Amino acid sequence: MPNYVERIKFGKEDYDRLSAKALRFGLPLAVVFTTKAQTSTNLKWLSAQYRRRLLMVEVPPTDKNKGLREEILGAEEGDGSGAALYVISSSSDSKNVRFEGDKFTRRKLQDFLDQHALSEPVLNPPSAGEAGSEEKQQKHDEF
């Protein structure tokens, strides 16, 4: 099964790198705080379904990831234990949205992510794609 889930292994450094990637492509981040060491098949399936429409990030329970939930989300989570899913928008004016379902079933997660994913996949970074096409046009005009 294809797996496009990005895993955070080294704490804040990895999160910052993935956050910059999402910002570069204009993608919302779906951050999953999990209690399991392995990526579930539901997450793998969802990552393939929403590929290039949102960036699926998994935070496994490791020593280096302790405290990452509070660092990313602030004090809104209390003790910060247990599985949770948040969508963090690429725009700075919107709030983090938490999945409030009682069970992480594929259908419930799909309905939730449908509300927050981009409608069309992003294939190139917006600024790089525009600059690249201008360069090609200039080279074409020179000949």
d(CA 131, CA 138): 11
Sheet with 6-7: list strands edge to edge.
Answer: 6-7, 55-59, 29-33, 84-88, 97-98
CATH of the domain at 38: 3.40.30.10
In a domain, 13, yes or no: yes
**Residue 17 maps to a domain:** yes
Instruction: Give pTM, 2 decimals.
Output: 0.78
Which residue segment(s) compose the domain that 120 sits in? 6-142
Residue 75 resides in a domain: yes
Mean pLDDT of 10-32: 91
| 29 in any annotated domain | yes
Q: Considering the domain boundaries, does residue 1 fall inside one?
A: no
Does residue 72 surpass a pLDDT of 50? yes
Q: Provide the 8-state DSSP code for 54.
A: S
In tens, the pLDDT along 82-103 reads 788 999 887 665 678 889 888 8
User: How many domains is the chain partitioned into structurally?
Assistant: 1
Residue 52 has pLDDT above 90, yes or no: yes
Asked whether residue 104 is domain-assigned, the answer is yes
In a domain, 130, yes or no: yes
pLDDT of 140 reads: 42
Position with higher pLDDT, 64 vs 137? 64
Evaluate whether residue 33 is within a structural domain: yes
Quick check: 13 pLDDT over 60? yes
